[in-house]
């Protein structure tokens, strides 16, 4: 596996890769969710590229950019084991965002809901760095996880609107045995908080059960999630949503596919999770 720490080095190594090229962008501190995407890419692409870059523009000043967990050596070992061919690890933010940088990708509408309400600058940073990485890596397929469903929807819209010649491939949310969605931020949780964090999955299972029994009123599904969280003292909900897949507007009644999602603070750690209704349906 080759590792490039500069854009010029990466571009030279990229010319040696056979296509199709699959791309797995990450912020590092890799877990099974990331590795499952690398395996998915490996199964369908001749070459696999990954990136490790903690993107500063998707963090607000009050968020955890400086403390975001990092372990580059371990990440590279894991990617080697998964058969990744080339990894981009930019060591100099100034090369990614040079002095005077002032060009942004804004995806309107869908970025202003859910995560966008609490993190209004987040998706501008996400869309911008993904667009830059698409231009640098030039993949035929890009692999993202359903756990970040709104992010996937935003990127899919950007691909369509800006005519990127990239296929977005979505991998399923990978969970711990107790249902907690895998996330690099799970490392922040204390033992007590880690136990409390299972409330997110219990919320989604409660909604899934009610839907299977015939409930279609979105407000009743939101209320069911709230009741689960109210029984967990360490949980503080940020949002509880039952929304359309195309606009992410809140639903009154479910008469097609819906995204059920939530963001919850467990102690000082903010976690997200989601499911698609009907059960078994895909995001795209």
Listed in sequence order, the residues at least 6 apart from 2 whose beta carbon sits closer than 8 Å to its beta carbon are 13, 85, 86, 87
**For the residues of 248-261, what is the DSSP string, one character each?**
-PBPSB-SS-EEEE
User: Are 172 and 182 contacting, i.e. CB atoms less than 8 angstroms apart?
Assistant: no
Q: How far is CA 32 from CA 38, 80, 174, 202, in A?
A: 10, 14, 7, 21
Query: How far apart are alpha carbons 146 and 90 in whole angstroms?
Result: 26
Cis peptide before 278 (omega within 30 of 0): yes
Query: How far apart are alpha carbons 272 and 186 in whole angstroms?
Result: 11
Using left for φ > 0, alpha for ψ between -120 and 50, and beta otherwise, residue 117 falls in alpha
Query: How far apart are alpha carbons 37 and 145 in whole angstroms?
Result: 7
Query: How far apart are alpha carbons 48 and 84 in whole angstroms?
Result: 5
User: Are 260 and 204 contacting, i.e. CB atoms less than 8 angstroms apart?
Assistant: yes
Give the residue numbers marked as catalytic.
34
Cβ neighbours, 10 Å, residue 62: 6
């Amino acid at each position: 596996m080759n590792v490039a720490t500069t854009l010029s080095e990466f571009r030279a190594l990229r010319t040696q890769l056979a296509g199709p090229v699959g791309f797995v962008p990450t912020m590092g501190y890799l877990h099974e969710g990331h590795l499952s995407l690398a395996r998915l890419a490996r199964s369908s692409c001749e070459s696999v590229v990954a990136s490790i870059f903690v993107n500063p523009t998707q963090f607000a000043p009050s968020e955890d950019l400086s403390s975001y967990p990092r372990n580059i050596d371990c990440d590279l070992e894991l990617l080697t084991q998964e058969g990744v061919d080339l990894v981009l690890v930019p060591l100099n933010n100034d090369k990614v965002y040079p002095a005077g940088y002032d060009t942004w990708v804004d995806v309107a509408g869908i970025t202003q809901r859910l995560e966008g309400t609490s993190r209004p600058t987040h998706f501008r940073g996400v869309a911008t760095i993904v667009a830059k990485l698409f231009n640098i890596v030039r993949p035929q397929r890009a692999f993202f996880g359903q756990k970040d469903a709104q992010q996937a929807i935003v990127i899919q819209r950007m691909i369509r609107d800006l005519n990127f010649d990239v296929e977005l491939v979505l991998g399923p949310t990978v969970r711990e045995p107790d249902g907690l969605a895998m996330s690099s931020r799970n490392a922040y949780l204390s033992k007590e908080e880690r136990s409390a964090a299972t409330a997110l999955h219990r919320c989604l299972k409660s909604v899934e059960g009610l839907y299977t029994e015939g409930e279609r009123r979105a407000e009743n599904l939101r209320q069911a999630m709230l009741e689960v969280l109210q029984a967990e003292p360490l949980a503080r909900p940020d949002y509880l949503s039952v929304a359309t897949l195309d606009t992410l507007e809140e639903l009154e009644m479910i008469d097609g596919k819906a995204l059920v999602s939530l963001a919850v603070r467990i102690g000082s750690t903010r976690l997200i999770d989601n499911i698609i209704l009907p059960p078994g349906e895909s995001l795209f």
